[in-house]
């Protein structure tokens, strides 16, 4: 009897695994609660395990910094000179902008408040691109908020626990971010496809795109506030337009979770929608 039960365990567990996958496929949010609870629990362990890694990294960084210091110094000096000119321009424009706003009585934008977060884990897998951060609901993080580095957009908060949250990177298979070309304001979707450079899809027909064109978030869908820097068009091969993110997604350490007061429009944090609608809106949000 016991032997028979033992022999059946394996096929049974294989069956359960397959079933779990199918369930997860039909309801994208099914495991969110469990996942958030688990990551909340293991976060302290991950914090501890990070420490030796931080030491190794900073040692490596130290060596490569010394090697690169001389060249970098020259580059920075040059860049500084150039930026000083830009600063001048920016000051003038800011003043002019303020005057013009005053003139047309423009309502000021919502105050932006941001939460600093540290990356405590990254999936490191072959097909999932996300990172776990050490702030959660208790710190004011909500699903749908934008995650950024100083350089640009990284992705959006996909799942929130009490003390941790998961950020879906824009390179993930399930990431679809409404963006626009900075210059012409043509809208498109930035579609993650598991490569390091996501694709630009659904551009209006006959849109002219050049390599080097800057991409910013678009306001469509109310996912992100418009105008956050995303990246530049890096290659165009037929229909395939790829965007190189400004943020260095392979080496994320500190993130800024930006709250623009827009997350309320995302379906999950709003009133629980009926099941059918949930599936659909879920697909859009993931």
Interacting residues toward another protein by CB under 8 A: 9-10, 13-14, 16-21, 24-25, 28, 30-31, 34-35, 38-39, 42, 45-46, 49-50, 53, 56-57, 60-61, 64, 119-132, 158-159, 166, 171, 173-174, 193-196, 249-253, 286
Specify whether the CB–CB gap between 161 and 143 falls below 8 A.
no
CB of 175 to another protein, least distance (A): 11
Local structure of 101: helix, strand or coil: helix
State which residue, 169 or 213, has the beta carbon closest to another protein: 169
Is residue 274 classed as helix, strand or coil in its secondary structure? Answer: coil
**Rounded to an integer, what distance in angstroms lies between the CA atom of residue 35 and that of residue 27?**
14
**122: β partners:** 131
Closer residue to another protein in complex, CB, 35/214: 35
**Min separation Cβ 143 and another protein, Å:** 13
* 6 sits in which H/E element: helix 2-26
Q: What are phi and psi of 134, to 5 degrees?
A: -90, 20
> Would you say 61 or 110 has its CB closer to another protein?
61
Closest to another protein by CB, 122 or 139: 122
Residue 224 CB, shortest distance to another protein, in Å, is 20
Q: Cα–Cα distances in Å, from 26 out to 11, 12, 164?
A: 23, 21, 25
Q: Is residue 1 a contact partner of residue 123, using CB atoms and an 8 Å limit?
A: no
Strand ranges for the chain from DSSP E: 113-122, 130-133, 146-148, 153-160, 165-169, 176-181, 187-191, 199-201, 214-217, 229-237, 240-245, 254-259
Closest distance between another protein and the C-beta of residue 267, in Å?
17
Give me the least distance between CB of 123 and another protein, in Å please.
5
For another protein, the closer CB: 6 or 85 = 6
Nearest approach, Cβ of residue 58 and another protein (Å) = 9
Return the number of the residue (187 or 286) whose C-beta is nearest another protein: 286
């Amino acid at each position: 009897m016991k032997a028979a039960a033992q022999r059946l365990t394996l096929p049974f567990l294989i069956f359960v695994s397959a079933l779990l996958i199918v369930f997860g496929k039909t309801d994208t949010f099914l495991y969110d609660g469990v996942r958030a609870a688990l990551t909340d629990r293991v976060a302290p362990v991950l914090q501890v395990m990070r420490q030796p890694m931080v030491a190794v990294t900073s040692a490596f960084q130290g060596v490569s910094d010394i090697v690169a210091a001389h060249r970098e110094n020259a580059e920075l000096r040059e860049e500084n000179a150039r930026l000083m000119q830009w600063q001048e321009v920016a000051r003038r424009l800011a003043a002019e902008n303020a005057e013009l706003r005053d003139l047309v009585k423009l309502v000021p934008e919502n105050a932006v408040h941001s939460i600093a977060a540290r990356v405590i884990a990254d999936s490191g897998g072959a097909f999932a691109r996300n990172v776990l951060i050490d702030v959660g609901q208790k710190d004011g993080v909500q699903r749908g908020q934008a995650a950024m580095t100083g350089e640009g957009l990284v992705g959006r908060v996909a799942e929130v626990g009490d003390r941790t949250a998961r950020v879906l990177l824009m390179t993930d298979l399930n990431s679809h971010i409404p963006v626009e070309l900075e210059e012409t304001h043509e809208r498109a979707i930035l579609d993650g496809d598991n490569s390091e450079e996501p694709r630009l899809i659904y551009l209006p027909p006959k849109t002219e795109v050049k390599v080097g064109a800057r991409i910013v978030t678009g306001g469509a869908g109310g996912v992100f506030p418009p105008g956050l820097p995303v990246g530049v068009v890096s290659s165009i091969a037929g229909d395939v337009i790829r965007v190189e993110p400004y943020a260095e997604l392979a080496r994320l350490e500190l993130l800024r979770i930006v709250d623009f007061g827009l997350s309320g429009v995302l379906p999950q944090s709003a009133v629980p929608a009926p099941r059918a609608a949930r599936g659909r809106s879920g697909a859009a949000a993931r």
